Amino acid sequence: MRRKIYVSIFILILSITFTPSHSYSAESLHDLFWRRAWTDMEVKYKTLKTKTVADYSLMSNAYRFQERWQDAVNILEAHSQKFPDNIRPYAEMTLLLGYEKTNQKEKALKLAESLYSSAPQDLKYYIAFAQYRLYTSQNDKVSALNRMLLNAVTDERKIYTLKLLLPLENANTEHALQLLELEPENKDAASILTHGKLNAQMILALGIHYFNIGNNSSAVEYLNRSQGRKAQYYRAWANAKLKRNDTALNLWGSLATSGNEYAVNSVSRIANLARDKNMRAKCINVLERVAKDRRGNAQARALQALISLQGRGESDRKAELEAQLIRNHPSSTYAFNILWSRAWKEIGNGNYSEAVKLLKQADAPGVFAYRRARILYWLAHSQNNSGQKKDAERTLAILKRKFSLTIYGMLAEPKIRIINGTNPNLTLRPTELEQYGFIYHAYLKLTHPKANAREIYRSIILSKWLGLESNYMEAKQIENLMTWNSTHYRSDLEALYPRAYKSSVEAASKRYGVETNFIWAIMRQESAFKADAKSRAGAAGLMQMMPGTAKDESKRAGLSSYNLYNPNDNIMLGTSHLSWLSKNLAKKEYVMAAYNAGSGNARKWLRDGGDKLDLARWIERITFDETSGYVQRVSGNIEVYRMLYNGR
């Protein structure tokens, strides 16, 4: 008897030891789905003696993600009616796509027509889009596109739909106007409007369109016929571009001295107009009125403009204006710049106690994070040098804890603590759609305009699982919650510092010998990873290439044709430019400055011993506020990228 027991145990041990490595009993179908272990999942599915509705759903979605549409169709045709009522529409949407992909168009259309009326709101846009693709007659396509437009909840979807719709309609001015207001440079929409009967809204849209494409004479013509502050602001700007400066000043002056909309922007335009010596006195007169009579941001901007326009013999008036600005607007960028300039002068003169006072004054509520990190870094330096050692330690502790991802935080503490996994403070339980495998629709439902922090965080996780190019814009919305202390979760940082367009970046890096982390650090600051980004100055695409620079780099790169909104082209040209700048500039921070402000300015800041300074002191050599902030941010970016990804 005992021998039989030993033999049985021995056989059991052998069976465990020699079980093939592809035993699927340990993991559930759900676990395999989330690991994208498609082969293991299919074997597991086929071995299940009894299957639940969730099993059918997960497997059909697994087939969908593998583009095995007929297999998905087979499951859904047999079992979709068993799904819970709130899940069934998503199963039928997947079945509709399966029919379309397997060329069963009649079935697809029949299902789309029945599904549209009963589907939840978030599906209607996609059902109508499927109908547009499936219909053959133009009238049917137009009807489907109108349903898409009715259910388009984002500007991107509206623009996409309108661009499909306009060529199929007979000069629909309502849709042309809608597109032109969303995309002011759209020439097709403008052309439709100019050939129709115009109302006031259309006249304004055309005026702004012509301004945006640089046809300022036509802009003035249309904007002269328009009412309201927006029309007045752009009419002034178009006149200024036509050198009709007195007209521009009168229009901007009216906006600056009364009302709110466009008031601050008008003050900024007047400050730029004052660069013309013939307009200087007139502009100063208007700015003085704004500084005296207005309050809020308009007054702050006017005071800053007046300070910059004071001559050498007007030091008393300049000091008076600075005092008023600091007193009335202590949290403004303009007050910060004044106090910072004074503090830096005291640091240079070795008057560290006075620098401490000024830096504490500059550390006002509402100061931007990267500016506050800069204040704290030099405040600790000044406290230490003025014998306030304990205060310096406390200041550095705040810098390390609250601003660890800035360049100043990393100069104070070179290593940041990264924990693997997701942030438990922001975690949201998987939704029911996720549990049934409808990940894309779960993602879309979580990205609604009023999403809370946990919903946004869950959408980031799903975006990563789906392999979407970047979830940076979602992560940016909750950045403060993801980075509030010195310990960071890897998944949070990977969302905030993504390796977007990875294959294109790696190819460009290999070709030009530029560090991948540097390319991503630049891209993050330039465009926030938006391939269609365009600045008012004309910089375009992921790395915000100016047309002239792109033309020069295309010759070096041997590109006979290129599109700056094509990610691969833009990354290649931007990296080529970084490589070219790096040949004459020894450090990456110098290249950053040159990329933003031109190599001539970067070399100017390196003169007279500038190239001997450490990073923190060299940043203070940069006389352009925009470029100084740019170098600070990109320097911080590249260090985070290196700590996050090097060796991974």
Residues noted as catalytic: 526
Contact call for residues 477 and 491 (beta carbons, < 8 A): no
Beta strands per DSSP E along 437-479: none
Vertex 46 angle, CA 71 and 94, to 5°: 30
What are the C-alpha distances in Å from 223 to residues 158, 185, 220, 226?
26, 16, 5, 5
Contact call for residues 576 and 559 (beta carbons, < 8 A): no
Q: What is the distance, to the nearest Å, from the Cα of residue 12 to the centroid of all Cα atoms in its chain?
A: 58
Q: For residues 97 and 100, what is the distance between their CA atoms, to the nearest angstrom?
A: 5
Contact call for residues 576 and 585 (beta carbons, < 8 A): no
Vertex 128 angle, CA 125 and 134, to 5°: 145
Contact call for residues 441 and 91 (beta carbons, < 8 A): no
What are the C-alpha distances in Å from 43 to residues 22, 26, 47, 48, 59?
9, 13, 6, 9, 11
Query: What angle, 0 to 180 degrees and rounded to 10, lies between the N-to-C axes of helices 567-582 and 502-512?
Result: 30
The strand pair at 417-419 and 487-489 is best described as parallel
Q: Please give, one letter per residue, the 3-state secondary structure of 548-616.
A: HHHHHHHHHHCCCCCCCCCHHHHHHHHHHHHHHHHCCCCCHHHHHHHHHHCHHHHHHHHCCCHHHCCHH
401 exposure class (CB count in 10 Å sphere: 0-12, 13-18, 19+)? middle
DSSP conformation class of 19: S
Q: Which two tokens stand for residue 206?
A: 């055309």
